Structures are given as C-alpha cells and as structure tokens.
C-alpha cells in the first residue's frame, strides 16, 4: 500500500512539472539515453524548448544509484549530460572563481555539465539573502552565466 501511494505521489509530482512517463518519451530519445548509460532506468522525460528548438530532458537512475539528467534531441543526439557532484569534487579553479565573484555565499549544490563536444562546465547553486541562484563556470574558472 505504501509503495503504491509513494509511486502515485511521485507520478503526480513529476506530472505537475511537465514530465511525462518514460513510456511516453520518444523511442529515439530513450534509446540514446540508455545507450549512453547502460543499465540505467528512465525515471522521467520532459519535452522543452531551448533556443527555439525542441529537445527532451531525460532523468535517469543509474545502476550505481546516482541520478543523471540528459538533454536529448528528438533524433536521439545527446546534447548535454548533467550529474550532481559533491561540492568538494568541483575543481579548485571553479571554487576560487565562485568565491571571488560571490564573496560570502555558500554553495548548496554542484553539477558537472558535459556538452556533446566534451566541453565541461560546472553549475553551482547558492543562496543570497532569500534568493536561490545558480552560476555556471568553465572548468578553468571562467564565469559563464548566472540564473
């Protein structure tokens, strides 16, 4: 009973965020995600527009218990891979740049983002006052953007 209730609550929560069930994800998108992460399971899939182009955000649960998000084109090309990482695993150059730009801010979460061309960036989530923000940095510490 509890498992069924939990599954229902998770399904409703995912649905309210615009995600569809894994079964409703286009087959080319699902196949590409599972090929890139053998042994993973598709937990959710959401169609979105990025720079005017349709793509899918696919949430995967990996066989080692981690969660990975992929941005995948409708044709099945992996555009971006996002993995949550420990703050301590962020390169020192990125943390130095973050501390310099956001003096006194404490990071709350970090993501390693790998683009299709292999370029790696790091997104750091933090709070300033009561506002949650995210900043993206290149692997060498160069500032890219703030959200």
Per-residue pLDDT reduced to its tens digit, 77-109: 999 999 999 999 999 999 999 999 999 899 999
User: For 102-142, where are the alpha helices, taking DSSP H only?
Assistant: none
C-alpha to C-alpha distance for 110 and 96, rounded to whole angstroms: 14
> What's the farthest any 2 CA atoms get from each other in the chain?
51
Q: What pLDDT is attached to residue 4?
A: 39
E strand spans, the chain: 41-50, 53-61, 67-72, 78-85, 107-115, 120-128, 131-138, 143-146
Q: What pLDDT is attached to residue 24?
A: 74
What domains sit in the chain, N to C, each tagged with a CATH number?
1-80 (3.10.450.360), 86-147 (3.10.450.360)
Mean pLDDT along residues 9-24: 51
Q: What pLDDT is attached to residue 13?
A: 41
Mean pLDDT along residues 28-48: 93
Q: What pLDDT is attached to residue 130?
A: 86
Q: What pLDDT is attached to residue 22?
A: 64
Task: Return the C-alpha torsion angle 17, 18, 24, 27, nearest 10.
Answer: -100
The confidence band for 21, taking pLDDT boundaries of 50, 70 and 90, is low
Task: Return the C-alpha torsion angle 83, 88, 90, 93, nearest 10.
Answer: 180
The confidence band for 16, taking pLDDT boundaries of 50, 70 and 90, is very low
Region of poorest pLDDT, from 14-23, 64-73, 131-140:
14-23
Q: What is the pTM of this model?
A: 0.78
Q: Who wins on pLDDT, 87 or 8?
A: 87
C-alpha to C-alpha distance for 123 and 93, rounded to whole angstroms: 13
Mean pLDDT along residues 62-88: 94
The confidence band for 41, taking pLDDT boundaries of 50, 70 and 90, is very high
């Amino acid at each position: 009973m509890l498992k069924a209730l939990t599954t229902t609550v998770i399904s409703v929560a995912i649905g309210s965020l615009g995600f569809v069930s894994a079964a409703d994800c286009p087959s080319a998108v699902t196949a590409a995600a599972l090929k890139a992460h053998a042994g993973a399971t598709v937990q959710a899939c959401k169609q979105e527009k990025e720079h005017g182009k349709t793509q899918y955000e696919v949430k995967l649960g990996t066989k080692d218990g981690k969660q990975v998000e992929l941005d995948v084109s409708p044709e099945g090309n992996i555009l971006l891979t996002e993995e949550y990482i420990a703050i301590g695993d962020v390169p020192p150059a990125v943390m130095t740049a973050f501390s310099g730009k956001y003096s006194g801010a404490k990071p709350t979460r970090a993501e390693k983002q790998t683009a299709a061309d292999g370029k790696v960036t790091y997104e750091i989530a933090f709070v300033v006052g009561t506002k949650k923000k995210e900043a993206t940095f290149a692997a060498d510490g160069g500032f890219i953007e703030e959200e």
